[in-house]
Structure 1
Amino acid sequence: MEELKKAVALKYEREKDNAPKVVAKGKGVIAEKIIQTAKENGVYIKEDKYLVEMLSNLELYEEIPEELYKVVAKIFIFLYTQVRRE
Structure 2
Amino acid sequence: MANDAPRRPLQSAVALTYKNDSPAPKVVAKGRGLVAEQIIHVANEHGVHIHESKELVSLLMDVDLDRQIPPALYRTIAELLAWLYHIESAQKSGQPPPPAPDTSSPLRDQEEQ
Q: What residue identity is the alignment partner of 1:55? A: L
Q: What residue identity is the alignment partner of 2:20? A: R
Counterparts of residues 30-69 of structure 1 (less than 5 Å): 30-69=35-74
Question: 2:77 matched to 1:72?
Answer: yes
Aligned length: 85
CA shift, 1:84, in A, is 2.2
Runs of 4+ in 1 over 2 A off after TM superposition: none
CA distance in 2, matches of 1:31, 1:9: 10
CA distance in 1, matches of 2:71, 2:52: 20
Instruction: Give unpaired runs (5+ residues) of structure 2.
Output: 1-6, 93-113
Ranked by relative contact order (alpha carbons within 8 Å, sequence separation 6 or more), the top structure is: 1
CA shift, 1:33, in A, is 0.2
Q: Which has the higher helix share?
A: 1
What TM-score, normalized to structure 2? 0.72
CA distance in 1, matches of 2:65, 2:46: 21
Instruction: Give unpaired runs (5+ residues) of structure 1.
Output: none
**Equivalent in the alignment of 1:9:** 15
Q: Percent sequence identity over matched residues?
A: 44
Aligned residues: CA RMSD: 1.0
